[in-house]
Amino acid sequence: MNFWFLLLLGLITYWMLQRSVAQITKTPVWLLWLVLMIPALLWTTWTIAYGAKQPPPKALMIWPLIVCPLLYWVLFQWGRHSLKGTHTEPQKVPQSQPDIHNIAEPAPVRPIDPTEETQLRNCFPWSVYYIQNIEYRPQAIICRGQLRTTPGNAYERIKANVEKEFGDRFLIIFQEGFSSKPFFVLVPNPQLAKPNSRAQQKITRPGLALILLALTLVTTTLVGVRFAGVNPTMLTSNPAELLKGLPYALALITILGTHELCHYLTARFYKIRSTLPYFIPMPLFLGTFGAFIQMRSPIPNRKALFDVSIAGPLAGFIMTLPLLVWGLAHSDIVAQPEKTGLLNTNALNPQYSILLALLSKLALGSQLTSNSAIHMHPVAVAGFLGLIVTALNLMPVGQLDGGHIVHAMFGQRTAVVIGQISRLLLLLLSLIQPEFFPWALILLFLPLIDEPALNDVTELDNKRDIAGLLAMALLIVIVLPLPQVLANLLHI
């Protein structure tokens, strides 16, 4: 089993590296692959030599997870700087729409008339952004030059100049180039295509949102009855038993709704057009697939991208904490079975998560010992799912909230590398906790690149950088299992 899992992991890892980083670094793909596979190779070798009953020493478990990502980062950056030194563009660079880096042939039709080029050049004062050349693409005008002031000031000045000359014909995008030189891109404004469209006039559907909320309340209540220990066959003879499913349903909907509502309100604060939160009802498993909003206009800058992205997980986590602690305090202590699972709410081992273990000890005190598990109250189940939802959303991959957060903190290209490492680390973690393997597979199918902000160059302030690092620390304490040293101190 270990051999086949290692083979599958190796093939997936090599495929991911070949598709995502082979074109943006000169470091050989096989070397990057070998560095990332070292932890799995070491653990598999130990298991073959000593058997599954003797776990590897903690140093062998922890240090490869620290050293190998750092070595990968050094090798990747070395190859990236070497590639820059050649002054050549790669054949293929992954980019979100619009693709402004790699279009083979310029189209004969230009987004502006030749007579308008002088007007466009006048929009770039030499003291702000000294323009050197203009490239015309089928759906974009790329303006390259030298930045002479701060990125934020340059974007605002040039945006105002372009709007003065051309009105709202274009969206003005400011991005970091492959050679670390920022450039401007003008693309046709998509909102001008159908100015009288009802979809453009009204994107929120309160009626649909309320119907989905009501259906989700029904499905989560039905599932909550099972978590409350009620036999479903009793519902026909005693419908009042259905009320026992409401604590789970209301707690879970509150957590998910708070998460999405804060996304929505923050987007509205930055004048980003977005839909209301929509719940996805499901009659089985957890009762819902979650909730979502859709943003229908570009994000203005990395500050807005960060604030919108972190608002949901932060608000959802704040709402989760009191519900989870209350639910744990009203849960029962049971003997720990021989086989436990991450979603076994009838006998959950709190050591699956550092944060869950700390909260369980806080709520249950001395009742919780090393030989005990928790038969979770329905509200505790909802709170535990809130932790899982927070962790999944904070994964720094692609279009997840965590992917947006690292994009806002470090830029789009660095976020791609962080997302790649994160996907592989979760795969490695699934060797220790097989319950994470389905989540690792889900992340493999998520694209690593998300849409850039209009001003994707201006960096965040220190407060937001610290908040982003704390969000990543929160992810770690939710996902990682409780170390034995800390378990001994807590007497768990």
Q: Which pLDDT tens digit goes with each residue over 101-113?
A: 444 444 445 678 8
Q: What share of the chain in percent tops pLDDT 70?
A: 83
pLDDT (tens digit per residue) in 390-434: 999 999 998 899 999 999 999 988 898 898 888 888 877 777 777
The answer to whether residue 105 sits within a structural domain is no
155 and 254, same domain (yes or no): no
| Whether pLDDT at 322 is above 60 | yes
Q: Decide: helix, strand or coil at residue 470.
A: helix
- 13 in any annotated domain: yes
Q: In angstroms, rounded to a whole number, what is the distance separating the alpha carbons of residues 160 and 148? A: 17
In a domain, 104, yes or no: no
pLDDT class for 86, splitting at 50, 70, 90?
very low
pLDDT for the residue numbered 175 = 92
393 touches 446 (CB < 8 A): no
Q: Report the alpha-carbon distance of residue 476 to residue 242 in Å, rounded.
A: 37
Q: Average pLDDT, whole number, for the chain? A: 83
Q: Among 157, 192, 227, identify where a domain stops.
A: 192
**Tokens 């604590």 map to which residue?**
247
Q: Is the pLDDT of residue 462 over 80?
A: yes
Alpha-carbon 258 to chain mean position? 18
| Burial class of 266 by CB neighbour count within 10 A (0 to 12, 13 to 18, 19+) | buried
Closest CA to 462 of 315, 306, 299: 306
Dmax (CA) for the chain in angstroms is: 81
Instruction: Say if 157 falls within a structural domain.
Output: yes
Residues 218 and 260 in one domain: yes
Rounded to the nearest 10 degrees, the angle between the axes of helix 354-364 and helix 302-329 is: 40
Does residue 144 sit within a domain? yes
| Distance (Å, whole) CA 17 – CA 420 | 8
Q: In whole angstroms, give the CA distance from residue 159 to residue 170.
A: 10
Q: Which of 192, 211, 243 is the last residue of a domain?
A: 192
Lowest mean pLDDT among 13-22, 247-256, 272-281, 293-302: 13-22
Same domain, 215 and 147: no
Tokens in use for 421? 């490492």
Residues 249 and 173 reside in one and the same domain: no
CA–CA separation, 235 vs 224, rounded Å? Answer: 13
Please give the single-letter amino acid code of residue 109.
V
Is 279 inside a domain boundary? yes
Lowest mean pLDDT among 12-21, 65-74, 262-271, 360-369: 12-21
**CA atoms of 372 and 347, how far apart (whole Å):** 9
Same-domain check for residues 55 and 134: no
- Domain residues for the domain of 67 are 2-85
* Polymer length in residues for the chain: 492
User: Residue 234 has which token pair?
Assistant: 């009793």
Report the amino acid identity of residue 241. E
Consecutive H or E run containing 145: strand 140-147
- Whether 302 is covered by a domain: the verdict is yes
Q: How many domains does the chain have?
A: 3
CB 223 within 8 A of CB 350: no
C-beta of residue 359 within 8 angstroms of C-beta of residue 328? yes
d(CA 187, CA 170): 5
- Which amino acid is located at 96 in the chain? S
Residue 184 shares a structural domain with residue 233: no
Report yes or no: 246 and 221 within 8 Å, Cβ to Cβ.
yes
Q: Do 441 and 298 reside in the same domain of the chain?
A: yes
On whether the CB atoms of residues 93 and 102 are closer than 8 A, the answer is: yes
Cβ neighbours around 420 below 10 Å, total: 23
Say if residue 206 is in the same domain as residue 185: no
What is the C-alpha to C-alpha distance for residues 169 and 192, in angstroms, rounded to an integer? 8
The residue out of 70, 85, 100 marking a domain boundary is 85
d(CA 442, CA 377): 29
Residues 286 and 177 in one domain: no
The pLDDT assigned to 362 comes to: 93
Q: What pTM was estimated for this model as a whole?
A: 0.76
Question: 3-state DSSP helix/strand/coil percent for the chain, to nearest 5?
Answer: 60, 10, 30
Question: Would you say residue 440 has pLDDT above 90?
Answer: no
Q: Are residues 167 and 138 in the same domain?
A: yes
Using a 10 angstrom Cβ sphere, with 0-12 exposed, 13-18 middle and 19 or more buried, the burial of residue 363 is buried
Asked if residue 373 and residue 234 are part of one domain, the reply reads yes
Q: What's the pLDDT at 144?
A: 93
d(CA 350, CA 361): 9
* Residues 72 and 147 grouped into a single domain: no
> Residue 95 domain-assigned?
no
β-strand 140-147 against 170-176: which pairing, if any? unpaired
Domain CATH code at residue 137 = 3.90.1070.10
374: which 2 tokens? Answer: 């928790």
